[in-house]
Structure formats: C-alpha cells, structure tokens
Amino acid sequence: MNFGGLLARAALLKEQMKKKPCKRCGLLYDPKNEATCPHCGDLDERGLEKLLEKREKEFHGNRRLGIWFIVTATVLLVLVLLIGGL
C-alpha cells in the first residue's frame, strides 16, 4: 500500500477544506487570507463572463480527453484479449 500517496491526498483534502467556493465564480478561495476572490474579485461582469466561458471550455476539453482515453483503453483491452486468445 502506498502510504505516501495517501498522506499527500489527506494533506490536499485538509487544505481544500479551508477554502470556500466563491458565490460569483464558483472557484475555491480562502476567505481568511483574502478579502475577495482572487479569481473574480477585480473583474467586471464582462470579465466574469469570459472567466466562466474559459472554465466551461476547459471542462469540455478535459471531458473529451477523458472519453478519448476510455475509448483507447477499451480498444487496447479488446486487442490484448483477442491476441492473447490466439
């Protein structure tokens, strides 16, 4: 068992628990250390729209990449099973 990875994950979760989602943009920030959200605090409505649009594009790009990896892994698994069965 990889205890180093488990400890690193626990430390990351502990840090994330300190952060709260911004009501305006939805990104996490630490309200104890920052008075306003560092992502959207200095943006006007147009800048906020661009930020949210950028987040949406990144989300869809990551989703598309994940689907691509799943399809590729499935094809490789089928090929390995077919070749191994011969």
The alpha-helical segments, DSSP class H, found in 1-86 are: 3-18, 45-85
Alpha-carbon separation of residue 3 from 7, 11, 58 (angstroms): 6, 12, 32
Domain range for residue 54? 43-86
> Residues 83, 50: one domain?
yes
> Residues 48, 37: one domain?
no
> Residues 57, 36: one domain?
no
Domains held by the chain: number: 2
Q: What's the pLDDT tens digit per position in 28-81?
A: 998 888 989 999 999 999 999 999 999 999 999 999 999 999 999 999 999 999
> Residues 73, 51: one domain?
yes
Please give the model's pTM, rounded to 2 decimal places.
0.65
> Residues 31, 7: one domain?
yes
> Residues 37, 53: one domain?
no
